[in-house]
Amino acid sequence: MVLNLIFLGPPGAGKGTVAQAVSKKYSLVQISTGDLIREEVSSGSELGKELGEIINRGELISDEQMAQMLELKLKELSSQENFNGVILDGFPRTVPQADELANIFGRIEQELKAVINIESSEENIVKRLSSRWTCSKCKKIYNTLSVPPKVEGKCDVDGADLFQRDDDKPETIKARLAQYNEKTAPLINYYKEKGLLKAYDGNVPPQESIEAAEKLIEGLE
Ligand code: AMP
């Protein structure tokens, strides 16, 4: 069975952490549109400079640009022989993106299996985002409060330096939450109406959140 999943939830709900663990367990490919953008930004290209300014204001990049980047990636992955499915983390973030995703899946002959909403309180989000650190090499996510690395500032897996995202600053966090409430939260009802929505309480430690997601996935037929 090909398992194409979406993780939905406000910034800091744990989408990246849970998607990393779940994709490993079920041999799925995790696509983080935030990572795709950050890779473009660190390449130093003209497009990257443009995107960097937008994400550091806490705003979203345009639906067209985002959909184009994603379709290229999905096309490439789904044509591989051992393709088991993808986990989309950070896409769709708007209703037009969700409509476009349905078109993209149609074009590459894939089906969306479920949308998992990680519910999270605003208090938790701010706390998590301001203590989040990411490995510059393998993208593993740490949290200095709940999941600190063994050596400060270094990844447990490969020893590479950890970095704190520029957009995890308090002013940007507020703007990102406002964008989420206005543009992304409507997707909860959108997918509920399509009968694809599953949800769980994500206000729990990372390991419990991962287990809750796995339980939902195992219940999918
Ligand atoms: P994330 O890593 O998912 O928190 O994304 C970081 C930033 O990248 C967001 O705050 C947006 O500025 C941008 N971004 C990521 N995914 C999307 C998307 N699907 N549509 C528009 N902008 C996005």
Q: What is the pLDDT of residue 171?
A: 84
Q: Cβ < 6 Å from ligand 1: which residues? A: 11, 32-34, 37, 54-55, 59-61, 66, 90-91, 93, 97, 167, 176
pTM of the predicted structure, to 2 decimals: 0.90
Nearest CA to ligand 1 atom 8: 34
Residue 215 corresponds to which tokens in the numbers above? 């339980």
For 180-189, write each residue's pLDDT tens digit.
999 999 999 9
Q: What is the pLDDT of residue 1?
A: 79
For 143-182, write each residue's pLDDT tens digit.
998 889 999 999 999 999 999 999 998 889 999 999 999 9
Distance 176 CA to ligand 1 centre (A): 9
Residue 210 has pLDDT above 90, yes or no: yes
Give the chain's mean pLDDT: 94
Q: What is the pLDDT of residue 75?
A: 94
